[in-house]
Chains A and B, each alone.
Chain A
Amino acid sequence: MITLTDQPFDPAEVLREFEKRAAGAGAIVSFTGLVRDASKLGKVKTLHLQAYTPLTERGITKAASDANKRWPLDALMVIHRIGDLAPGEPIVFVATASAHRRAAFEAADFLMDYLKTEAVFWKKETTDSGAHWVEPRPEDYEDRDRWSKTGA
């Protein structure tokens, strides 16, 4: 289940719904990403997230399908914000459910690496020193590459 939304969401509420949907699974992992309140360029005022429909949705759907092929998952969920966000607001939520913990941990990690480096989004950060577009860091690409080294 994949959702792009320009509305704020409550990760705790979303996780409770996911737990109901994944009833019977032995392991649930969830990750929530929040807008940081400071970047190297100063205090963050807003973060703007731009997507390109339908490429963004299509890409995340493919990543979810890859995760399902690679790990035995009972359920999976991705929520990603678009539009304008304030510091502290949830920007991304990923949850995975499986019989055992390892598959759930790895699939969530894999999905986050996809979202950070390949998902079709552009981020513009406005700080007290001005506005600039944020692109992935070299570490983000290294994290993503872990998944191809071990063979897909």
Chain B
Amino acid sequence: MARLHYFGRLMDAFGTHAETLALPAGIADTSALRSWLDNDRKLGGVLLEKTIRIAINDTIVSEPWPIADSDDIAFLPPVGGG
């Protein structure tokens, strides 16, 4: 099972900050995951935005990046503090 995390405005879009999910067959990289998840949750393309980055197991990856069912996958909208 993969652990998915949603931060910032994605937390509101998904209605939760995290979930555990069995990746469907054929969803083998971040690009496929974005499309499948966006479609599955009817997000209207939010997850396809280039400004949303993905961290796998606590490291931001350059995409597309392979994913496995044991991964911790975080979706990160544009960041900024202060």
Contacts and interface: CB of A to CB of B under 8 A. Distances in A.
Interface of A: 33, 49-50, 52, 54-55, 80, 91-92, 112, 115-124, 133-136, 140
Interface residues of B, number: 17
Interface of B: 5, 7-9, 11-12, 55, 58, 60, 74, 76-82
A134 B82 CA distance: 11
Nearest to A111: B82
A91 B82 contact: yes
Given A117-B79, A123-B80, A135-B80, 5 more contacts: A55-B60, A92-B82, A120-B79, A123-B81, A135-B8
Contacts of A118: 79-80
Nearest to B9: A133
A42 B1 CA distance: 43
